[in-house]
């Protein structure tokens, strides 16, 4: 059991209620959960149906997603469950919003995930006006995070932005710097956007997220189990984050940019190739579960 709870809220990054239950028993609590199309495609029940030769219709996929989220929701705390809309590179904000509005009714504390793209931000802007909680995902740049801030200003509920650490590390850039830079930039803001450290792969990422005072961190079950097995270490005064890749190569620092949060969100450069690739991967994983005609 984790007795010394960090200030950073801890979420399970996964799509299997059984796993969430196991982690909850291990830690004694869990603040929330994030899901996405890739994680839902890996859900054991969906995988079982695919192994038996049954591909899903779009309606069956949606029903399965709803069932998974409804099983997870009672297990977690007030950080809620993040549910991702199905969006490809051509999806319009209105389509995403329509999905988001429906998904938001599935459970009491839903956060609707939209990608950090022009259309995703437009959907988020409309959502917060309707008091729908949002989580802007696939964030890979400080400019995207500035746009999230500007597009959701006035939201009554905290808005989440999810910088993806591990995927930046994968291409030799120090993903933790993105979290550090966003936190620094938001110091001058009104606090309505909370940083949700995501794509966490290691205990090192997790401890550094605590140190940077990320409001939330979403962590795969495997990494939480490793953290538990190590006795839930916390970063002490001597903790120094090692910005290295798994081969021990130094990661390239990401410089801080001076950005004005008062600018209109459309003025920020939203383009990032990892956001595009991330959407393509989600679409491919989602489609892998569907009937071929779908």
- The binding site for ligand G3P (CB under 6 A) comprises 13, 34, 36, 164, 166-167, 198-199, 218
227 vs 181: CA distance, rounded Å? 25
Q: Any idea which residue has 């977690």 for tokens?
A: 76
171 vs 252 by CB, closer to ligand G3P: 171
Distances (CA, A) of 278 to 25, 91, 104: 32, 14, 23
32 vs 172: CA distance, rounded Å? 30
168 vs 261 by CB, closer to ligand G3P: 168
261 vs 278 by CB, closer to ligand G3P: 278
164 vs 265 by CB, closer to ligand G3P: 164
148 phi-psi bin (left φ>0, alpha ψ -120 to 50, beta other): alpha
Please tell me the total number of residues recorded for the chain in this structure.
294
Query: What is the DSSP code string of 24-91?
Result: HHHHS---EEE--HHHHHT-HHHHHHHHTT-PBPHHHHHHHHHHHHHHHGGGS-TTEEEEE----TT-
Of 294, 289, 292, nearest to 52 (Cα)? Answer: 289
Q: What is the 3-state secondary structure (H, E, C) of 90-142?
A: CCCHHHHHHHHHHHCCCCCCEEEEEECCHHHHHHHHHHHHCCCCEEEEEECCH
**Least distance from ligand G3P to the Cβ atom of residue 293, Å:** 28
CB 86: neighbour CB atoms within 10 A? 19
Known catalytic membership, residue 281:
no
**Least distance from ligand G3P to the Cβ atom of residue 86, Å:** 15
**Least distance from ligand G3P to the Cβ atom of residue 201, Å:** 6
166 vs 221 by CB, closer to ligand G3P: 166
Q: Which position among 113, 183, 252, 281 bears the catalytic label?
A: 113
**Residues that are catalytic:** 113
């Amino acid at each position: 059991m984790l007795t010394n709870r960090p200030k950073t809220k801890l979420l399970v990054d996964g799509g299997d209620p059984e796993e969430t239950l196991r982690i909850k028993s291990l830690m004694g609590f869990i603040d929330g959960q994030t899901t996405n199309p890739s994680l839902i495609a890996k859900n054991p029940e969906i995988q079982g149906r695919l192994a038996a030769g049954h591909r899903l219709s779009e309606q069956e996929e949606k029903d399965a997603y709803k069932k998974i989220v409804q099983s997870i929701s009672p297990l977690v705390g007030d950080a809620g469950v993040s549910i991702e809309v199905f969006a490809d590179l051509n999806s319009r904000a209105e389509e995403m919003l329509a999905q988001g509005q429906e998904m938001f009714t599935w459970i009491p504390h839903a956060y609707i995930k939209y990608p950090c793209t022009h259309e995703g931000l437009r959907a988020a802007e409309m959502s917060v006006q309707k008091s729908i909680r949002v989580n802007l995902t696939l964030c890979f740049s400080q400019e995207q995070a500035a746009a999230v801030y500007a597009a959701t200003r006035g939201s009554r509920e905290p808005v989440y932005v999810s910088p993806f650490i591990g995927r930046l590390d994968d291409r030799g850039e120090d993903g933790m710097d993105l979290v550090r830079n966003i936190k620094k930039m938001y110091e001058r803001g009104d606090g309505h956007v909370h940083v949700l450290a995501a794509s966490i792969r290691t205990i090192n990422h997790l401890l550094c997220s605590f140190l940077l005072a990320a409001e939330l961190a979403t962590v795969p079950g495997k990494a939480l189990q490793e953290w538990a097995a190590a006795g839930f270490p916390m970063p002490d005064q001597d903790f120094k984050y090692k910005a290295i890749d798994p081969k021990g190569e130094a990661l390239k620092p990401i410089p801080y940019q001076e950005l004005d949060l008062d600018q209109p969100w459309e003025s920020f450069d939203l383009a990032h190739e990892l956001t595009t690739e991330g959407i393509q991967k989600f679409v491919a994983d989602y489609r892998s579960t569907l009937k071929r005609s779908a």
